[in-house]
């Protein structure tokens, strides 16, 4: 079974600075998909970024980028120029090609301080 580990329960960053959230996973599959979701205090889950394992290029979405290290099974999220609205709980998720459901990490609560 796949497992997803987020080793940082809580993190904080000053507004406008950069922060990196870590995520590691364990799988025997070669093709799979990785996602980062954001859950602000409103509790709605929002897809932030996705990465296909067969792509070597790291995904980027505006201020959000990932550092995908397939051999190390690591999938960290970098948030540049942090904004107060980035304050949320962030979940890393793994989806295998044959599995119907995603496996979620325990989440990292990020607080952006003014």
Partner 1 sequence: GAVVSQHPSRVICKSGTSVKIECRSLDFQATTMFWYRQFPKQSLMLMATSNEGSKATYEQGVEKDKFLINHASLTLSTLTVTSAHPEDSSFYICSARDRGGSNQPQHFGDGTRLSIL
Tokens standing for 113?
């301080």
Residue 61 CB, nearest distance to partner 1 (Å)?
13
Question: In the bound complex, what is the minimum distance in angstroms from residue 109's beta carbon to partner 1?
Answer: 7
Q: Indicate which single residue of 27, 80, 102, 111 sits in contact with partner 1 (rule: CB under 8 A).
A: 102
- Decide: residue 42, CB within 10 A, 0-12 exposed, 13-18 middle, 19+ buried: exposed
In order of 9, 38, 77, the CA distances from 81 in angstroms are: 21, 17, 13
How far apart are the C-alpha atoms of 61 and 23, rounded to whole Å? Answer: 18
DSSP state of 66: E
Q: Which of 21, 59, 79, 89 binds partner 1 (CB under 8 A)?
A: 89
Which residues between 25 and 64 bind partner 1 (CB under 8 A)? Answer: 33, 35, 37, 42-47, 50, 52
Binding site for partner 1 (CB under 8 A): 33, 35, 37, 42-47, 50, 52, 89, 91, 93, 95, 97-98, 100-102, 104-107, 109
């Amino acid at each position: 079974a796949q497992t997803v580990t987020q080793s940082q329960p809580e993190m904080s960053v000053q507004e406008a600075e950069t922060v990196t959230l870590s995520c590691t996973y364990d799988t025997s599959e070669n093709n799979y998909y990785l996602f980062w979701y954001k859950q602000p205090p409103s509790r709605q889950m929002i897809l932030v970024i996705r990465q296909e394992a067969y792509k070597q290029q790291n995904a980027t979405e505006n201020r959000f980028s990932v550092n995908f290290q397939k051999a190390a099974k690591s999938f960290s999220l970098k948030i540049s120029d942090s904004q107060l609205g980035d304050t949320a709980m962030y979940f890393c998720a793994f989806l295998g090609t044959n599995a119907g459901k995603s496996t979620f990490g325990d989440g990292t609560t990020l607080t952006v301080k003014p």
